[in-house]
Structure 1
Amino acid sequence: MKRTFYFLSIFALVICAIFIVANIRQKAKDRQAFQSLDQVIPVNAVPASMELFQDKISAVGTLRARQENLLSPKVAGNVDAVLVDIGEKVKAGQPVIRLDKTTFRLAVKQAESAFSAAFAAVAQVKSQLSQAGKEYNRAKNLLAENVIPQNRFDAAETGYNTARETLLVARGKHSQAKAALETAKEYLNYTEIHSSIDGVVVQRTAEIGQTVAPGVQVLRILDQTMVRADIELPEKDFGRIGFKTTAVMMVDAFPEIKFNSKVTVINPMVNPGTRTFKVRVETSNQTGELVDGMFVKVDFLLHQKEALAVPRGALQKLPGSGTYYVFAVKSNKAFKKEVKIGIKTDKFAEVIDGLARGELVITNGAGKLRSGINVKISNKAVETLKEG
C-alpha cells in the first residue's frame, strides 16, 4: 500500500514538471513572437498595376527537315567511290556514290551480242518468208492451171506457214533480247547513285569496297532550308488555333532567338486515345541555325490583354499545393493574402482575384515575413536583409 502511494506521488510530480516546462517554453515563444512583431523589417514594395499580357498556348515537339532523301542502291554491288561526306552540300541529280561497273558492263556487252543475233535472225527469217511466199503464190497459180499436183501445192503452203510462224518466234526473241539489253543498261546506270534533292549529307554508312544490297540505306540527305514541327495540342484548344495564328519557335541551342513561324496544317480530327489534335508549324531556315531532330518549344500567340499584375518576385506558392499568395503592406504592416493567378511571364504574374489595383505588395524577403509584422519600405531592403 505504501509502495503504491509512493509511485503515484512520483508520477504526479513528473506530470506537474512536464506542464511547468511546457508552460515556460510557450511563454518564451510568445515573448519571441511579440518581439518579432515589434521588429521592423525593411522591404521593397510596389503597387499592383495593370500590365499587358500575351495570351498564348505553349507546347513542345521535334524539328523535322523540309525534305528527306534516304538513298539506297537498286542493284547489289561493291562500292567503288563515295563522292560526298557528312556535312557536304549536294544538288539534285548530283552523283554521290558509284558501284563497281565491271560486271554490269559485261552484262551489257552480252545483251548487245544477244540482241544483234536476234536482229540477224529476224532478218534471215524475213528473207526465208519472202522466198516461201513466192513459192506459195507460184504453186497456187500452177495448181489452178492443173500444171502441178495437189501435194506439191500443199508442201509450198506448209513451207509458207512454217516461215510465218518462225518469223513470229524470231520477233519474240528479238523483243526479249531488246528488253534484256535495256535492263542491262538500266542496271549499269543504277551503279551510280544520285541525290534527288538539294540538301546536306547528314548520315553515311557506305565505305569503299563494301558490298551493298538493294534497299539498304547508304546515305541520308536533308533539305533544311525550311523546318517544321508537328505539335500535339489538347482538344480544348481546337477552336483557338487558326491558319492566321502567329507562332514562335525556341530551341535550347539559341535561347535568345525566337524564330517566327506559321501554322500550315491543322488536322481536322481529334485522336480519341489521347484527346489531342495535330498542328504543323513551319519556319524558314535559310541561315541554318535549326537542324532536324532538335527539341523545340512552340508558343502560339493568340491575343494581348491588359490585366492586374504583380512582379514574379512578389508571388509565393504554398509547398505541395497550387495556392499562391503575396504579402501586402497596409499601415506599415505585412499581411498575407491568397491570390488567384492567370498568365505568368518572366517578370509578371496576372492576378485574377485576391488583390486590388494599387495595393502595395512586397517583392523581397518573404522568408522573414508573416502577417502582422512591422515593415518599412526601403530601397536598400535587399542589402539590409542580406546583412541580417
Structure 2
Amino acid sequence: MTFPLILLSLLLVGCKRDEPAVESSIQAPWVRTVAVASDDRTQIRLSGTVRGRYETPLSFQVPGRILERHVDAGQRVEVGQLLFQLDKRDLMASVRVAEAELETAKASLAIARSELKRQQQLMERDFVSRQTLERFELSLRESESRRDAAQAVLAQARNGLGYADLSADKTGVLAEVTAEPGQVVAVGQQLAVLVEDGTLEVEVFLADGMRPPKTGTLELASGVLPLSLREVAGAADPQSRSWRARYRIEKGSDLLSLGAVVQVLLDQDQQGVTLRVPLGALDERSTGPQVWQVIDGQAQPIPVEVLALESEHARIRASLAEGSRIIALGTHLLTPGMAVQEQAR
C-alpha cells in the first residue's frame, strides 16, 4: 500500500506545477510629453507666387482645327492682335448653306405674296370664300417666319466664320500658351491665359484654420514692398486642405515678373497668446485640430487654432498656459479618457 500512495502524491505535485501562478496585469501605455512654448514672433513667413490681378483664359467660340498660331508664352500682345486662326473651310461651307436656305425662303415668300394677291382679287369677285383667303394669309406669315429664321441662321454662320480668328481683347502678357497648329479644339477649350496690364498680386496658401492676416510685406533684394489682403478662397483646397489668399502689391510691382516665387512676411494677429508645438503633437481629425493633455492619468483633447505649419513645428492658439505639457507622439491613437502613463521629456 505504501508504493501506490507515493505515486499518487507525485502525480498531484506535477499537476500543480502546470497551473499558471499569477495572471498578467495589463498596464496603461506610456506616452511622451513635452512642454509648449510661447511664440512671440509678429510675422509669418510664407512662399508666394506673383500673379496678375486679371488673368483671362482665351478660347474659341466655335470648334475646329487650329490652322495657325501667331504667339508664344511670355509674349506681350496689344488689343486686336491676332493670336490663333482656325481652318475656315467648314465654317465657310456653313455660310454658303445658310445663304442658299435664305434664298429658298425668300423665293417661297414671293410665291406666297403672289398667291395671296391673286386670292384677294378672286374674293373681290366672289369666286373664293373668306376662309380660303385666310389660309393664304397664314401661308404668307409662315413664309415670312421661315425667311426670318433663315436670316438668323445666316447671321449666326457669319459670326462663326468671324470667330475663326482669335484676337486679344486686352493689352497684356500671355502667361500660358498650350495650343498647337493642327490641334482640334472644342468650344471654350483653354488655349492660353492673358494677364492684363495692371496691378500684380501675390498668391499664398494658408494652413487650414489659420486666420488670414490683413497686411504684410514682400521681401526683395532691393527692399520690401507693402501688401494688403484682397481676397480669400471660399473653400479649402480638397487635397492640401489649405486656403488660397491673394495679396495686392501696393507699389513697386514693376520690379517683379509674373510667376516669380517670392518670400512674404504676413503680419500676425496678436489677439491671444500663440504657442509653438511639435508637428507630431497636432491631431487633425474630423472634429478639428487638437492637442492632447494628460489629466489625472487620462488623455484629454484640447481644441486649437492652427496659425502656421513649419518643417518641424506648428504655431497654434489654444487655451493652454505656457509650459503646459502635451503628448508629443502617437496622438492619432488616443481616445478621450484613455488611461496613459506620462513620460516627460
TM-score, normalised to structure 2's length? 0.55
Deviation digits for residues 86-135 of structure 1, max 9, x if unmatched? 22111344321111222222321231232123123213312321231232
Match among 298, 323, 328 for residue 264 of structure 2:
298
Q: What corresponds to 1:211 in structure 2?
A: 184
- CA distance, structure 2, for counterparts of residue 301 and residue 285 of structure 1: 19
Q: What is the one-letter code of the residue matched to 2:107?
A: A
Structure 2: runs of 5 or more not aligned: 1-39, 270-345
- CA distance, structure 2, for counterparts of residue 177 and residue 268 of structure 1: 46
Q: What corresponds to 1:58 in structure 2?
A: 45
Q: What is the one-letter code of the residue matched to 1:260?
A: P
Q: What corresponds to 2:305 in structure 1?
A: none
1:82 and 2:72 matched: no
Q: What is the one-letter code of the residue matched to 1:287?
A: D
Contact 1:232 1:278 in 2 (8 A): yes
Kindly state the Cα deviation for residue 188 of structure 1 after the two structures are TM-superposed. 0.3
Contact 1:233 1:278 in 2 (8 A): no
1:126 and 2:113 matched: yes
Q: What corresponds to 1:161 in structure 2?
A: 134
Deviation digits for residues 337-375 of structure 1, max 9, x if unmatched? xxxxxxxxxxxxxxxxxxxxxxxxxxxxxxxxxxxxxxx
Kindly state the Cα deviation for residue 191 of structure 1 after the two structures are TM-superposed. 0.4
Deviation digits for residues 119-172 of structure 1, max 9, x if unmatched? 232133123212312322431xxxxxxxxxxxx5xx433431221121122122
Taking a change above 3 Å as real, the CA distance of residues 113 and 267 of structure 1, as seen in their structure-2 partners, is closer
Kindly state the Cα deviation for residue 185 of structure 1 after the two structures are TM-superposed. 0.6
Contact 1:133 1:160 in 2 (8 A): yes
Tell me the SS of whatever aligns to 1:258: strand
- CA distance, structure 1, for counterparts of residue 187 and residue 233 of structure 2: 36
- CA distance, structure 2, for counterparts of residue 74 and residue 275 of structure 1: 35
Contact 1:132 1:156 in 2 (8 A): no
* 1:86-101 equivalence runs, <5 A: 86-101=73-88
- CA distance, structure 2, for counterparts of residue 269 and residue 113 of structure 1: 53
Q: What corresponds to 1:287 in structure 2?
A: 254
Q: What corresponds to 1:191 in structure 2?
A: 164
Cα-Cα RMSD: 3.6
- CA distance, structure 1, for counterparts of residue 163 and residue 252 of structure 2: 33
Q: What corresponds to 1:112 in structure 2?
A: 99
- CA distance, structure 1, for counterparts of residue 234 and residue 112 of structure 2: 67
Larger radius of gyration: 1
1:248 and 2:217 matched: yes
Tell me the SS of whatever aligns to 1:84: coil
Q: What is the one-letter code of the residue matched to 1:175?
A: D
Tell me the SS of whatever aligns to 2:188: coil
Deviation digits for residues 190-210 of structure 1, max 9, x if unmatched? 101122432212322333333
Kindly state the Cα deviation for residue 183 of structure 1 after the two structures are TM-superposed. 1.4
What is the total number of aligned residue pairs between the two structures?
Answer: 228
Q: What is the one-letter code of the residue matched to 1:281?
A: Y
- The alignment-based identity, stated in percent, is 23
Match among 112, 125, 132 for residue 138 of structure 1:
125
Taking a change above 3 Å as real, the CA distance of residues 285 and 102 of structure 1, as seen in their structure-2 partners, is farther
Q: What corresponds to 1:172 in structure 2?
A: 145
Structure 1: runs of 5 or more not aligned: 1-52, 140-151, 304-388
Structure 1 stretch displaced more, 105-114 or 220-229: 220-229
Q: What is the one-letter code of the residue matched to 1:127?
A: S
Kindly state the Cα deviation for residue 179 of structure 1 after the two structures are TM-superposed. 1.7
- CA distance, structure 2, for counterparts of residue 269 and residue 218 of structure 1: 27
Contact 1:73 1:215 in 2 (8 A): yes
TM-score, normalised to structure 1's length? 0.50
Contact 1:235 1:275 in 2 (8 A): no
